[in-house]
Chain A
Amino acid sequence: MNRTTLIYADYGKLADQMSGSDSVASKAAKLELEVAAHAAAAPGQNAARVQAAKALVDVAKSNRPRLVRAHALRLIGFVGGKAEAGAIAGLAKHPEIGQDAKIAIKRIQSAK
């Protein structure tokens, strides 16, 4: 898998692909989101990290399917900072993805 860093719009496109009914394409998009997010969170990649975090917050707040939004929240836990924790705090009471939001916030807060 190519570990290049994506731009903001790519995250949305991949989230759409993950939302589709083609299971193979959906899984590929899920993994590509994961690869991109972790590449953006690597040491020294602050600009990419900020872009990834913003894009993933927007995916988490979108009307995409539950598992797509939950996946975005999981990745926010790794790339996000205080700003993203604040941005997703409102999702903590969401009936479907509230637990995923809380987990992401706890992970961000665990960072030293």
Chain B
Amino acid sequence: MSNPAKSGIGFPTYVPQSAFGANDRIVYGHIGVGGMGSSHIVADSCAALCDVDANHLANAAKRVQGKPMLTDDYRRVLDRKDIDAVTIGTPDHWHAIMAVHACMAGKDVYSEKPVCKTIEEGLAMVNAARRYKRIMQIGAQGRSNPKVAAAANYLRNGQAGTIKKVVIWHPENLSSGSGFEAPSTPPPHMNWDMWLGPIPYRPYTAETCHFHFRWMMDSGAGFIRDRGNHAISCVMLLTGQDAWSSPVTVKATGKTNPNRIYDAPQSLNVTWKFRNPEWTLEWNQPGEANERLEGEWGATYYGTKDDLILTGGDGGADTEPKAIDYVPPAGGFKHEVEPDKVDVTEKHRRNWRKCIKTRELPVSDIGIQYKTIILPIIANIAYTVGRELTFDPKTNRFINDEEANRFLSDPYREPWSLKGY
């Protein structure tokens, strides 16, 4: 059963009371409702649920009040005039297309990390948000985390001096072990062609589908772009480099696991060298936690006067007491997070909802996150071509490497296009 419409899952008519008008109610459509996407569901204001896995749809529908439209085609969600905003919690290769199309359809967007796969996609997302005047929050919720804010306040007010080097440590991709699963017919609850969408055909295997899509270059590209979106988003906030604009040099080496299908490098070491100001960022996968404050992943910030550790940087994070206890001076830098006593991801969503109403830029706006995601994207390109590259963020191109520039966009399988649907 590849199409829920043909499989007994109904499409009940649902007419919400109001799109945020008199009662300020925002009506949502939720696209991609397995995994993290399921956490974004607003049970009492959901008009549509979309997923290519009918099991995900059925589970999500149980949590929603009323009878939302159920579909495996996000375009049907965007067609609904009564929906104000969408959340996107699909695998990476769908984020940009859906987000751009949602903007064209007049919807505000909360899209999960990582932002996108390619430079072309990231630019298209920024352009769509601006052109259609849409609020686009990326689910890099470290920017709504009070511990991240404390670390940012400490460093941005010069307590460690000038930051010259940041070293991120992170475990290897979850692609160890051995064995190759034989391709099979997709399960009846899965629309595999729609799951693939814009990426080239590959046969169905469970080991390359839910969650594990992350270890395939076409659909995930490893922790460097997945968790890396969180980690590097924090780095750019803490160093004040969100608007970095000078060419950056990137070098990457890694190894895949020869005994599994996955082609994203299981281990990966990357060095980015920035100019104006000069500083270095390292990604060590695997890397060693700093013994002063241990965590599964995190970063040490080395300044000219002091250093600071931030572990995590998504919904979970921790930093050292000197940063937690630090009080920014009047007129100094202060990173604000939503004050409500809710978990970090909910703070992040509330920031988005607030901005939908105020039309201000959200804390993790697509413009900021595009500049973040450039770094893991170009790291994977440097790994793939096997040479050091220099990327110019003003032209959004590599300097003097024609082949590397062919990675700037990843042409889609037909009929998919960033231009519309």
Contacts and interface: CB of A to CB of B under 8 A. Distances in A.
Interface of A: 3, 23-24, 27-28, 30-31, 34-35, 38-39, 41-43, 67, 70, 74, 77-79, 96, 99-100, 102-103, 106-108, 110-112
Interface string B256-298: 1011010100000000000000000000000000000000000
Given A31-B256, A41-B385, A43-B400, A107 B406 contact: yes
Nearest to A103: B411
B414 A43 contact: no
A38 B414 contact: no
Contacts, number: 68
Given A24-B259, A99-B201, A112 B386 contact: no
A79 B407 CA distance: 12
Interface in B52-107: none
B307 to A, nearest CB: 35
Contacts of A24: 180, 258-259
A14 B261 CA distance: 17
Nearest to B409: A110
A43 B258 contact: no
Contacts of A39: 386
Given A99-B201, A99-B413, A103-B200, A27 B386 contact: no
B406 A42 contact: no
30 contacts: A23-B180, A23-B261, A24-B258, A27-B258, A28-B258, A30-B263, A31-B263, A34-B384, A38-B385, A41-B385, A42-B385, A42-B403, A43-B401, A43-B402, A70-B200, A70-B201, A77-B406, A77-B411, A78-B403, A78-B406, A79-B403, A99-B200, A99-B414, A100-B200, A106-B411, A107-B406, A107-B409, A107-B411, A110-B409, A111-B406
Nearest to B257: A27
Interface in B191-247: 200-203
B43 to A, nearest CB: 39
Per DSSP, chain B at the interface is loop
Contacts of A27: 180, 258, 261
Contact of B386 (A3, A30, A67, A108): A3
Per DSSP, chain A at the interface is helix
Contacts of B386: 3, 35, 38-39
Given A24-B258, A102-B414, 13 more contacts: A23-B261, A31-B256, A38-B384, A38-B385, A39-B386, A43-B401, A70-B200, A70-B201, A103-B412, A103-B413, A107-B411, A110-B409, A112-B405
A100 B203 CA distance: 14
Nearest to A71: B200
Contacts of A42: 385, 387, 401, 403
Chain A to chain B: the 6 pairs with minimum beta-carbon distance, closest first = A106-B411, A23-B180, A41-B403, A103-B411, A38-B385, A99-B413
Nearest to B403: A41
Nearest to A25: B258
A34 B265 CA distance: 14
A99 B387 CA distance: 29
Contacts of A70: 200-201
B130 to A, nearest CB: 24
